C-alpha cells in the first residue's frame, strides 16, 4: 500500500512538473511573439488577381502591385515621387543627352539563384520595345542597347529625352526571367511568387519572402493576395483578418466605427482625378456640343456631397499636386444651348467593384436627363472595362485617372492620338504637338507650361468630365508600423519595410489579437 502511495505521489509530481513546463514554454513563446517584429502571414485583399505575371504587360493597378512586390527595375519611385536607384550602382549621361551608361549592382540574385548581369538588363529593354509590347511606344526613342561588360549597359536614344530615367522606374521596366522550373517568372524583389490557389472561395495568390534578397530582409514571411470586393476587403481590415485596404483607396468609414475596430486610417495626397471619359471619336459623344452640355448639366457639388464629401471638386484633369495643373475655370468652356438631344441614349460603364457604383451612375443619369439624354448603366470587372476603352466600345466610362510614373507626361499621354490606350478616343494635332514639345524640353517650368496648355484644351473640348481630386484613404491593421503609402498610388506601398509593432500579436493565420 505504501509503495502504491509513493507511486501515486511521484506521478502527480511528474504531471505538475510537466504542466509547469508547458505553461513556461507557452509564456516564452508568447513573449517572443510579443517582442518579434516579424509577420508570419500578411493577408492583402485585391480587387482582382493580377492578369499578367510578366512586368512588361503590367497595365492594371493589381498588375503593378505585384510587379512592385516580386520584381525590381533599374530605378524605383519613392513615397514623394522621387526617382531612386534600385538595381543600378551608378549611372551617367553624356553631353549629347542621348547616351546613358548604367553600372549594375553586383551580387544581386533572381529568385532561382541566377546572378543579375548585363544580359538581363538588355533583355528587359528588348521586351519593352518588342512589337507585342503594350508599352513599346513609350520606349520608341531607344536606338540601341549594348552590354558593354558583365555589369555595364549602354543605352543610346534617337534624340534627347529628359524624363527617360522616370520611364525606367515604371512597373513595366522591371526585370524578370523565365524558367522551366516554375510557371511564374523570377524577379529579384523581396517576395517571390509561390502559386495560385483557385480552390477557395476567393482566388488567392501566394508569395513568400525571398531569403536571398539583396536588401534588408523583410519582416513579412508570407503574403496572400486575396481577391475580394471592396466591402469584404474593408470589413476584413476592420475585423483584423486583412492587413490593409490599400488597393481600395477612396472608401471612408466613420470615426466611431474605426475606433472600435482593429484598423487605423491613413490619408495621403494623391495624384488621381475621378473622371467620366467621353468617347470623342465615335458615337453620339463625338459631338463636342453634346460633350459640353453633358459637362454643364453635371451637378458636381451635389454629387461630391452625396457620395464623396472628403474629395475636392475638379475642373482640370491634372490634379493640383502635379506640375502643370492649369486650375481651369468654368468660363474656359464655351457655353452651349443644350437643346436637341432628346432621345439620345448612351451607355455608361463603371468598375463593378466600386461600392455604390450603381447609385453613382443613377445620379449621373438624373443630371443628364435634364438635357434629354438617357443613360444605361453597366458595372464591369476592371479588366473588361479596360478592354472596352481600348476597343473604343463605350460612350461614357467612369473611372480614376492615376499617375503611375513621376512625370505628368504619363498622365496626359492617355489622350495622345497614337496611344493604344486612348482614354477618350481623342484625336488632336494641337495636343500631340504640345506633348511632343514637352518631351524635348529639359526646363521643368516650360514643360509645365505645355502640360497646362493640354489641360485647358481637354477641359475646353469636354474630352472628360472631371469630377474630383481624392485624397488616398487607406486602412491598416493597428499592429503594423512603417506602413506609409506613396503619392504615386496604391501600387506603391513598400512592403519591404513593414513590421509588426512590439506588443502586438499577429497569429500564424494572419489574424490580430
Backbone φ and ψ for 147, nearest 5 degrees, come out as: -80, 100
pLDDT tens digit string along 53-106? 899 988 788 898 999 999 999 999 888 888 999 999 999 999 999 999 999 999
- Confidence band of 34 (pLDDT split at 50, 70, 90): very low
pLDDT tens digit string along 456-474? 999 999 999 999 998 888 8
pLDDT tens digit string along 172-227? 999 999 988 889 999 999 999 999 998 778 899 999 999 999 999 999 999 999 99
pLDDT of 270: 84
- Confidence band of 512 (pLDDT split at 50, 70, 90): low
pLDDT of 69: 95
Element (H, E) at 121: helix 118-129
CATH dotted code for 272-469? 3.10.105.10
- Strand 142-149 to 152-157 pairing: antiparallel
pLDDT of 513: 61
Q: Name the nearest CA neighbour of 166 among 366, 493, 413, 401.
A: 413
User: Taking each helix axis from N to C terminus, what angle separates 300-307 and 357-368, rounded to the nearest 10 degrees?
Assistant: 160
pLDDT of 202: 86
Query: What average pLDDT score do residues 21-50 get?
Result: 68
**Res 387 pLDDT > 50:** yes
Query: What average pLDDT score do residues 359-374 get?
Result: 97
CATH code 3.40.190.10 region(s) in the chain: 42-46+189-269+472-500
pLDDT tens digit string along 288-340? 999 999 999 999 999 999 998 888 999 899 998 888 887 788 888 999 999 99
Contact 268, 472 (CB under 8 A): yes
pLDDT of 27: 42
This prediction has a pTM of: 0.77
pLDDT of 7: 45
- Of the candidate CATH numbers 3.40.190.10, 3.40.50.720, 3.40.50.970, 3.40.50.1100, the domain formed by 42-46+189-269+472-500 belongs to 3.40.190.10
Burial environment of residue 447 by CB neighbours within 10 A (0 to 12, 13 to 18, 19 or more):
buried
Query: What average pLDDT score do residues 282-286 get?
Result: 96
Cα 8 to Cα 3, 22, 170, 497: the distances in Å are: 9, 21, 73, 56
CATH code 3.10.105.10 region(s) in the chain: 272-469
pLDDT of 322: 85
pLDDT of 471: 86
pLDDT tens digit string along 247-266? 776 667 888 999 999 999 98
Grid cell digits, residue 142: 531607344
pLDDT of 431: 96
**Res 30 pLDDT > 60:** no
pLDDT of 105: 97
In whole numbers, what is the pLDDT of the chain averaged over residues?
88
Query: What average pLDDT score do residues 271-284 get?
Result: 94
CATH fold label, 72-182: Dipeptide-binding Protein; domain 1 (3.90.76)
DSSP-assigned letter for residue 403: -
CATH code 3.90.76.10 region(s) in the chain: 72-182
Which alpha helices (DSSP H) does 391-469 contain, by range? Answer: 409-412, 429-440, 444-460
**Res 155 pLDDT > 90:** yes
pLDDT of 59: 77
- Strand 464-469 to 142-149 pairing: unpaired
Amino acid at each position: 500500500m505504501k509503495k502504491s502511495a509513493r507511486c501515486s505521489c511521484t506521478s502527480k509530481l511528474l504531471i505538475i512538473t510537466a504542466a509547469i513546463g508547458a505553461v513556461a514554454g507557452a509564456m516564452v513563446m508568447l513573449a517572443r511573439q510579443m517582442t518579434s517584429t516579424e509577420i508570419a502571414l500578411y493577408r492583402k485583399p485585391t480587387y482582382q488577381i493580377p492578369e499578367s505575371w510578366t512586368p512588361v504587360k503590367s497595365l492594371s493597378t493589381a498588375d503593378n502591385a505585384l510587379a512592385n512586390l516580386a520584381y525590381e527595375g533599374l530605378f524605383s519611385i519613392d513615397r514623394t515621387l522621387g526617382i531612386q536607384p534600385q538595381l543600378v550602382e551608378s549611372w551617367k549621361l553624356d553631353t549629347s543627352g542621348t547616351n546613358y551608361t548604367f553600372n549594375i549592382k553586383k551580387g544581386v540574385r533572381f529568385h532561382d539563384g541566377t546572378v543579375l548581369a548585363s544580359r538581363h538588363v538588355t533583355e528587359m529593354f528588348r521586351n519593352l520595345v518588342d512589337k507585342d509590347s503594350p508599352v513599346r511606344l513609350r520606349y520608341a526613342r531607344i536606338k540601341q542597347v549594348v552590354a558593354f561588360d558583365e555589369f555595364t549597359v549602354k543605352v543610346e536614344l534617337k534624340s534627347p529625352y529628359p524624363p527617360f530615367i522616370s520611364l525606367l522606374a515604371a512597373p513595366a521596366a522591371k526585370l524578370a526571367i523565365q524558367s522551366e522550373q516554375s510557371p511564374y517568372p523570377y524577379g529579384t524583389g523581396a517576395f517571390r511568387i509561390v502559386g495560385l490557389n483557385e480552390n477557395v472561395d476567393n482566388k488567392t495568390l501566394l508569395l513568400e519572402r525571398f531569403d536571398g534578397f539583396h536588401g534588408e530582409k523583410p519582416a513579412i514571411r508570407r503574403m496572400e493576395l486575396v481577391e475580394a470586393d471592396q466591402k469584404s476587403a474593408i470589413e476584413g481590415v476592420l475585423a483584423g483578418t486583412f492587413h490593409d485596404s490599400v488597393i481600395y483607396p477612396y472608401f471612408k468609414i466613420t470615426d466611431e466605427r474605426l475606433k472600435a475596430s482593429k484598423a487605423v486610417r491613413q490619408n495621403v495626397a494623391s495624384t488621381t482625378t475621378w473622371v467620366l471619359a467621353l468617347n470623342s471619336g465615335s458615337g453620339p459623344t463625338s459631338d463636342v456640343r453634346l460633350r459640353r452640355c453633358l459637362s454643364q448639366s453635371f451637378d458636381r457639388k451635389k454629387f461630391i456631397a452625396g457620395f464623396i464629401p472628403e474629395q475636392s471638386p475638379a475642373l482640370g484633369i491634372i490634379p493640383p499636386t502635379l506640375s502643370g495643373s492649369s486650375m481651369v475655370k468654368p468660363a474656359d468652356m464655351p457655353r452651349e444651348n443644350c437643346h436637341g438631344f432628346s432621345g439620345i441614349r448612351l451607355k455608361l460603364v463603371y468598375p463593378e467593384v466600386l461600392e455604390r457604383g450603381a447609385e453613382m451612375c443613377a445620379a449621373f443619369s438624373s443630371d443628364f436627363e435634364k438635357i434629354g439624354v438617357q443613360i444605361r448603366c453597366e458595372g464591369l470587372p476592371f479588366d473588361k472595362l479596360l478592354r472596352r476603352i481600348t476597343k473604343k466600345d463605350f460612350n461614357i466610362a467612369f473611372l480614376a485617372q492615376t499617375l503611375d510614373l513621376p512625370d505628368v507626361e504619363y498622365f496626359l499621354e492617355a489622350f495622345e492620338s497614337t496611344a493604344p490606350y486612348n482614354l477618350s478616343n481623342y484625336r488632336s494635332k494641337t495636343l500631340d504637338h504640345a506633348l511632343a514639345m514637352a518631351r524635348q524640353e529639359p526646363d521643368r517650368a516650360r514643360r509645365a507650361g505645355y502640360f497646362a496648355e493640354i489641360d485647358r484644351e481637354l477641359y475646353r473640348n469636354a474630352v472628360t468630365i472631371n469630377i474630383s481630386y481624392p485624397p488616398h484613404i487607406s486602412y491598416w491593421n493597428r499592429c503594423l508600423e512603417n506602413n506609409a503609402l506613396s503619392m504615386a498610388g496604391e501600387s506603391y506601398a513598400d512592403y519591404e519595410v513593414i513590421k509588426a509593432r512590439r506588443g502586438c500579436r499577429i497569429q500564424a493565420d494572419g489574424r490580430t489579437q
